[in-house]
Structure 1
């Protein structure tokens, strides 16, 4: 997120109105809701983690132990167990 001077980007009339509310302060203007991407959607992270979680579940279902999964994926036992439960729930809904 970059800092921009309002004098450089806003029409003078809007700048004057904003100065009536907040003058000399920093203000954050959020993106429009429809243009905001969800976490990990733009860079593929969400899909990468989803694939990893399905792989963890598949390995678990095929007999890989939780300690082995912890070692392989460098995650805590709690994280592995949450992934298994959540993925199992998603698999049950898809059936």
Structure 2
């Protein structure tokens, strides 16, 4: 998490109001639940994993062994099984 100096972000009146409650400390402001994104949604990694998993399932349907897939994708056989059998 990157810290931002409140003086550079907030109006002076709000900074002074906050100083009544906390000075020189750290204040965590949680994300609004209606605007919160799912894991990997912002970076695109979730979609990348879904595409990888589709390729793994397709290769398995074409006869690739679990051992080969595990080695190819640097995953354990257990992880490959989870990907293949998930719905």
1:35-59, Cα deviation, whole Å (9 max, x unpaired): 3322222332211111111121122
The 5-angstrom pairing of residues 53-92 of structure 1 reads 53-86=53-86, 90=87
Q: TM-score, normalised by structure 2?
A: 0.78
More helix by percentage: 1
For residues 60 and 72 of structure 2, the distance between their equivalents in structure 1, rounded to whole angstroms, comes to 12
Task: Give the aligned CA root-mean-square deviation in angstroms.
Answer: 1.9
Counting matched residue pairs gives: 87
For residues 8 and 57 of structure 2, the distance between their equivalents in structure 1, rounded to whole angstroms, comes to 53
Following superposition, which runs of at least 4 residues in structure 1 exceed 4 angstroms of deviation?
none
For residues 72 and 2 of structure 1, the distance between their equivalents in structure 2, rounded to whole angstroms, comes to 36
Unaligned runs of 5+ in 2: none
